[in-house]
Amino acid sequence: MKCRKCAEKAIINMRQHKLALCKTHYPAWVVEQTERFIQKYRMFTHQDRVLVAVSGGKDSLSLWDILWQLGYSADGLYIGLGIDGGIDYSVESQRLAEAFAASRGLKLDVVSIPQEYGETIPAIAERTTRGRGKPCAVCGLSKRHVMNRVAYEGGYTVLVTGHNLDDEAATLFGNTMNWAGGFLLRQGPVLEAHHTGLVRKAKPLFRFYEREMAAYALVRGIDYIYEECPYAEGAKSIYYKELLNKLENDHPGAKLSFFLSFLQAKENGLFASNAGMQEVLTEDGVLLHTCPFCGQPTSAPGPCSFCRMVLVKDRG
């Protein structure tokens, strides 16, 4: 198969776009498309100070690489989780994130959960009831907390993550399977900061398939951690991804149209404007409380979920 733009051999064929591209035109196309999405969904501008949440995986490093090429002011944040899993997972992913930043002269902030809070993610998970034995819920909560804190304290105006279409479609699929109203309403390429203390979030890669991001990282020679997190095994999100891959395989473009038609329906007013938001916002759209420990907004009086988890060590 030949590249649509030149006579070179194509390295990728995107069936849903009916587009095949070579090793030169493909990464250029990804960069252009990302810029188009950033503008189309009003994610941020060149005046913004962007913080990229970097895990050491293909998506977040590729995102940082793209923003760097596009000339955005984008620093990185790596959060050390203290996960080993027999493969030195956290050590290795930190090394790769640092090597990437060094190679491009980019600024990477590193926050270590074990150093800062005295415990690794798996240790916190073992101590608390959250997540029933799996550290994923604890990890998600911790990352959201630290990301927002660092972004807010650092004066960043937007926090970006490397979620790709497969991630977003699987999350949407899960939220649809049990019609989780609040999550359905909040899911999208941009999440506005509804309250002082929160930083707006954006997902510039949300329209790229996972395999497209893998191809991008490969052709750009980005050295990333290939292994999935050792705790991801058996996760529902992976199950949903496989299901959606079957759907995509039988109906090319199904994943993209599932997600884009969701965004369209939302824009057309399918959902009641305040459905499912009761637990987070008052009627005026204002968050209810401030955590006395970390100062971040929280939905209930007293310490936020994260502070309760890391501070109250005798908890179940």
Tell me the window of 29-37, 44-52, 224-232, 271-279 that interacts with a second copy (CB under 8 A). 271-279
Residue with token string 């005798």: 314
Site size toward a second copy (CB under 8 A) is 26
Burial class (CB in 10 A: 0-12, 13-18, 19+), 193: middle
- CB-based contacts of 148: which residues, under 8 Å, 6+ apart? 159, 197, 198, 199, 296
Q: How far is CA 308 from CA 118, 278, 313, in A?
A: 14, 22, 8
Q: Sketch the per residue contact string, 200 through 239, with a second copy: x for CB under 8 A, - otherwise.
A: ---------------------------------------x
Taking CB under 8 A as the rule, does residue 262 contact a second copy? yes
Tell me the window of 7-15, 86-94, 245-253, 290-298 that interacts with a second copy (CB under 8 A). 245-253
Identify whether the C-beta of residue 22 lies closer than 8 Å to the C-beta of residue 11.
yes
Applying the rule CB under 8 A, the residues between 173 and 192 that interact with a second copy are 176-179, 181, 184
Q: How far is the CB of 178 from a second copy (least distance, A)?
A: 5
Q: Sketch the per residue contact string, 275 through 314, with a second copy: x for CB under 8 A, - otherwise.
A: xx--------------------------------------
Tell me the window of 4-12, 131-139, 204-212, 244-252 that interacts with a second copy (CB under 8 A). 244-252
Q: Which of 238, 270, 286, 300 contacts a second copy by CB under 8 A?
A: 270
Taking CB under 8 A as the rule, does residue 258 contact a second copy? yes
Identify whether the C-beta of residue 4 lies closer than 8 Å to the C-beta of residue 21.
yes
If we measure between CA atoms, which residue out of 147, 141, 152, 143 comes closest to residue 309? 141
Tokens at 169, concatenated: 């479609």
What count of residues does the chain have? 316
Query: For a second copy, which is the closer residue by CB, 250 or 314?
Result: 250
Sign of the torsion angle spanned by Cα atoms 44, 46, 51, 54: positive
Tell me the window of 83-91, 111-119, 146-154, 266-274 that interacts with a second copy (CB under 8 A). 266-274
Question: How would you classify the pairing of strands 190-191 and 108-112?
Answer: unpaired
Taking CB under 8 A as the rule, does residue 265 contact a second copy? yes
Tell me the window of 10-18, 172-180, 201-209, 292-300 that interacts with a second copy (CB under 8 A). 172-180
Tell me the window of 21-29, 219-227, 268-276, 300-308 that interacts with a second copy (CB under 8 A). 268-276
Distance CA 313, CA 283 (A): 35
Query: For a second copy, which is the closer residue by CB, 226 or 239?
Result: 239
Identify whether the C-beta of residue 21 lies closer than 8 Å to the C-beta of residue 32.
no
Angle, alpha carbons 110-115-116 (nearest 5°) = 80
Query: For a second copy, which is the closer residue by CB, 34 or 175?
Result: 175
Judged by the rule CB under 8 A, the positions of this chain that interact with a second copy are 176-179, 181, 184, 239, 243, 246-247, 250, 254, 257-258, 261-262, 264-265, 268-273, 275-276
